[in-house]
Amino acid sequence: LYLVRDGQRSGQARGKCSGGGTRQQRQDDHHQQAEAGQRHHAEHCPTVGFNVERLEMKNLRMTCFDMSGQGRYRNMWEHYYRDCDAIIFVIDSSDKLRFVVAKDELEQLLAHDAIRTRGIPFLFYANKMDHKDALSPVKCTQMLGLKDCLSNKSWNIVPSNAISGEGLQAGIDWLAEEVRRLPPRK
């Protein structure tokens, strides 16, 4: 889960990332590689505790606070909701048993006043699409009930592979456009 704050709109970028399972360590030339169509170098490991990453893509500056998705860390998430301009929710599309937990976490997130009352966009990455048992983005949408629970918000689901980088740029491109459409912060 990434809570994204656009540095262009607010003067300071803030956000939160958590619980997706795979954390990416990109090289400094990430953006140039993406433009050149080169494969990205990435290390992957489960997030334990708390990590901070600063990213700039498509003129969207963000700071991500990457918090573990393990149950004992989830209570930290809500401390960052009020400052976010967008949410990136990473789904392990190959782990059907975790969909119940993911749906419950999404419902709790959407019920929080700081999220429920605002029209911030949601980007879902249906991750691990390279696994043979991965569910399609359409099936992920159905299992999470996205059409019903996000009927009043802008949202998109993008198939992805965090290891190879496949789908990541398409998601960020969509999200950057959605964040630009938001009204100015008060």
> pLDDT tens digits, residue range 30-51?
434 444 444 444 445 555 566 7
pLDDT for residue 27? 31
Q: Is 130 annotated as a binding residue?
A: yes
Q: Is 117 annotated as a binding residue?
A: no
Instruction: Give the domain 2-180 fold.
Output: Rossmann fold (3.40.50)
pTM, 2 dp? 0.76
Q: Is 75 annotated as a binding residue?
A: no
Average pLDDT over residues 88-95: 91
Place of tokens 């630009």: 180
DSSP state for residue 11 in the 8-state scheme: S
pLDDT for residue 134? 95
Q: Give the residue among 152, 120, 158 at the shortest CA–CA distance from 5.
A: 120
Contact 2, 60 (CB under 8 A): no
Sorted by where each begins, the domain ranges of the chain are: 2-180
pLDDT for residue 57? 67
pLDDT for residue 130? 94
pLDDT for residue 32? 40
Q: Is 70 tagged catalytic?
A: yes
d(CA 36, CA 159): 21
User: Which of the residues 27, 70, 108, 142 is marked catalytic?
Assistant: 70
Q: Is 128 annotated as a binding residue?
A: yes
Share of the chain above pLDDT 90, in %: 33
Handedness of CA 45, 50, 53, 59 (dihedral sign): positive
The residue that leads in pLDDT, 176 or 76, is 176
Q: Is 127 annotated as a binding residue?
A: yes
Among the residue ranges 63-67, 74-78, 92-96, the one predicted with the least confidence is 63-67
pLDDT for residue 24? 36
